[in-house]
Amino acid sequence: MASDPLYINDRIVIAGWELTEQFVLAGGPGGQNVNKVSTAVQLFYGIAASPALPERVRDNAIKLAGRKVSKDGVLMIEASRFRSQERNREDARERLKELIFKAAEPPPPPRRKTKPTKGSIERRLKEKTGRSEVKKMRGRPQND
């Protein structure tokens, strides 16, 4: 169980009781140490039922996480980048923090509709007439 809270920004704080950690054997190189010591961390966070997240942030985070969220709405982040358990624990918490921070960003402002300029309209029409002339020249010559 992760006891200390995770501070995302000044408005979002995830309580320690909402996070669950499980330590498992890590794969990859590391000699015999990798077979004996559980250094990899699986961080579980019930994102769908969390009271710490506003609804918009929760929905964005679930979209961003993709397959990392189970059908039950539990987000799992696995960290096995480092050899020590503590550094992997910090890495998993940091990755969760980054995910939620990115989900909390405000949406971009809507695009303002603009009219095409007179010059661009004239250039487009000139190009169209030029293309029309090229296509007319492809036909058979007219006998007068």
Are 27 and 117 a contacting pair, CB within 8 Å? no
Full set of structural domains in the chain with CATH: 6-103 (3.30.160.20)
CA–chain centroid gap for 42, Å, is: 19
pLDDT tens track for 24-77: 888 776 677 777 788 889 999 998 888 888 899 899 999 998 899 889 989 999
pLDDT tens track for 110-142: 999 999 999 999 999 999 999 999 999 898 877
Are 57 and 104 a contacting pair, CB within 8 Å? yes
CA distances from 17 to 48, 62, 110 (A): 15, 20, 38
**pTM of the complete model:** 0.71
Are 45 and 69 a contacting pair, CB within 8 Å? no
Are 44 and 20 a contacting pair, CB within 8 Å? yes
Residue among 101, 112, 99, 48 nearest 74 (CA): 48
